[in-house]
């Protein structure tokens, strides 16, 4: 018996289930023009992201870290959601139990209208007091800031991006919701090199809890050997083809149902 085309295998499963969880990484924003973390375009000046996305870097040179985030915000502000974000936004409305866990801080899933987004590493568009006195410090970071780092309105200490840096724990409430979301029928890991934990551990948890695990990435990653199905290619093409296959199956089954 010839093996079923992997896209068709996943599409058939998607056409019969309700609980879908998706983990995304920087690769889903690549087609929008947002630099990935570890790709060739991930460099800023001479720095790697891992050197700047840390509390140590911020303590040593808060102005440099703020300049990096400002540069990223300006890049992201010029980008729009792509076909990956559109399909996932549609799935968030279609599947009764849909959860999207994103490692990205760019806000493109929200801009595409996706519901139930879990921002696992926070948002580049939010800030908070580095001293911890104001969780919800408001600041419009879309405009150039007079002095860097901007000051907390309550304690006059430095404000920081409200993201999870290396060496910092993920918000326990977000981590618990993400763990809950690993109880699902199909778990996708899309556009991530699967090297950053605890995010990368979610696919292992989903598999252990009985989900069909699917990876979408142009290249093999640390997760490829783990998943049930690896769909190799750019997510904007693969996900578009997968969604069309699901709609075709659903259309034919509803046509059968109607006849």
Q: Does residue 107 touch ligand BV8 according to CB under 6 A?
A: no
Residues between 182 and 201 with contacts to ligand BV8, criterion CB under 6 A: 191-193, 195-197
Q: Which of 102, 178, 199, 1 is nearest to 9 (CA)?
A: 1
User: Total number of residues binding ligand BV8 (CB under 6 A)?
Assistant: 36
Residues between 62 and 91 with contacts to ligand BV8, criterion CB under 6 A: none
Strand partners, 186: 20, 212
Q: Does residue 221 touch ligand BV8 according to CB under 6 A?
A: yes
Q: Does residue 37 touch ligand BV8 according to CB under 6 A?
A: yes
Dist. CA 238–CA 56, nearest whole Å: 39
Q: Which of 200, 208, 119 is nearest to 164 (CA)?
A: 119
Q: Does residue 219 touch ligand BV8 according to CB under 6 A?
A: yes
**Residue 45 CB, nearest approach to ligand BV8 (Å):** 15
Q: Binder to ligand BV8 among 7, 10, 21, 25 (CB under 6 A)?
A: 25
Which CB sits closer to ligand BV8, 47 or 115? Answer: 47
Q: Does residue 31 touch ligand BV8 according to CB under 6 A?
A: yes
Of 13-21, 108-116, 211-219, 240-248, the segment contacting ligand BV8 by CB under 6 A is 211-219
Question: From the candidates 56, 109, 116, 121, which is the catalytic residue?
Answer: 121
Q: Does residue 29 touch ligand BV8 according to CB under 6 A?
A: no
Of 15-23, 32-40, 144-152, 176-184, the segment contacting ligand BV8 by CB under 6 A is 32-40
Q: Does residue 41 touch ligand BV8 according to CB under 6 A?
A: no
Dist. CA 44–CA 121, nearest whole Å: 20
Q: Binder to ligand BV8 among 94, 218, 247, 249 (CB under 6 A)?
A: 218
DSSP of the chain: -PPPPHHHHHHHHHTT-SEEEEEE-GGGGGGGTPPPSSSGGG-BTTB-HHHHSSHHHHHH-HHHHHHHHHHHHHHHHT----HHHHHHHHHHHHSTEEEEEE---S-HHHHTT-SSEEETTEEEEEEEETTSS-TT----TTS--SSSSPBPTTT--BEEEEEPPTTSPPPHHHHHHHHHHTSSSEEEEES--S-STTTTHHHHHHHHTT-EEEEEESS--TTTTTSSEEEES-HHHHHHHHHHHHHHHHHHHHHHHH-
Four-point Cα dihedral 42, 45, 50, 56, nearest 10? -160
To the query of whether residue 109 is one of the catalytic residues in this protein, the response is no
**Residue 238 CB, nearest approach to ligand BV8 (Å):** 8
**Residue 120 CB, nearest approach to ligand BV8 (Å):** 8
Which CB sits closer to ligand BV8, 147 or 219? Answer: 219
Residues between 120 and 179 with contacts to ligand BV8, criterion CB under 6 A: 121, 163-169
- Residues at the contact surface with ligand BV8, assessed by CB under 6 A: 25-27, 30-31, 36-39, 42, 53, 103-105, 121, 163-169, 191-193, 195-197, 216-219, 221, 234-236
Catalytic site positions: 121
């Amino acid at each position: 018996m010839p093996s079923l085309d992997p896209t068709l295998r996943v599409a058939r499963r998607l056409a019969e289930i309700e609980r879908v969880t998706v983990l995304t990484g920087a690769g889903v924003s690549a087609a929008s023009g947002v630099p990935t973390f570890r790709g060739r375009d991930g460099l800023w000046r001479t720095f790697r992201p891992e050197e700047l996305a840390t509390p140590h870097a911020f303590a040593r040179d808060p102005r440099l870290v703020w300049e990096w985030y400002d540069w990223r915000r300006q890049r992201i502000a010029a980008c729009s959601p792509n076909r990956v974000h559109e399909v996932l936004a549609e799935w968030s409305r279609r599947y009764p139990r849909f959860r999207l866990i994103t490692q990205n801080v760019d806000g493109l899933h929200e801009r595409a209208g996706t519901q139930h987004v879990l921002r696992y590493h926070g948002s580049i568009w939010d800030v908070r007091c580095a001293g911890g006195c104001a969780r919800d410090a408001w600041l419009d970071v879309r405009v150039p800031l007079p002095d860097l780092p901007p000051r907390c309105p309550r304690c006059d200490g430095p404000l920081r991006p409200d993201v999870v840096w290396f060496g910092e724990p993920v918000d326990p409430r977000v981590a618990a919701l993400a763990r809950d979301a690993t109880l699902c029928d199909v778990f996708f890991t899309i556009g991530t090199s699967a090297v950053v934990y605890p995010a990368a551990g979610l696919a292992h948890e989903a598999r252990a809890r009985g989900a069909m695990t699917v990876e979408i990435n142009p290249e093999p990653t640390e997760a490829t050997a783990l998943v049930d199905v690896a769909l190799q290619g750019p997510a904007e093409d693969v996900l578009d083809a997968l969604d069309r296959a699901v709609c075709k199956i659903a259309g034919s089954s509803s046509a059968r149902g109607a006849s």
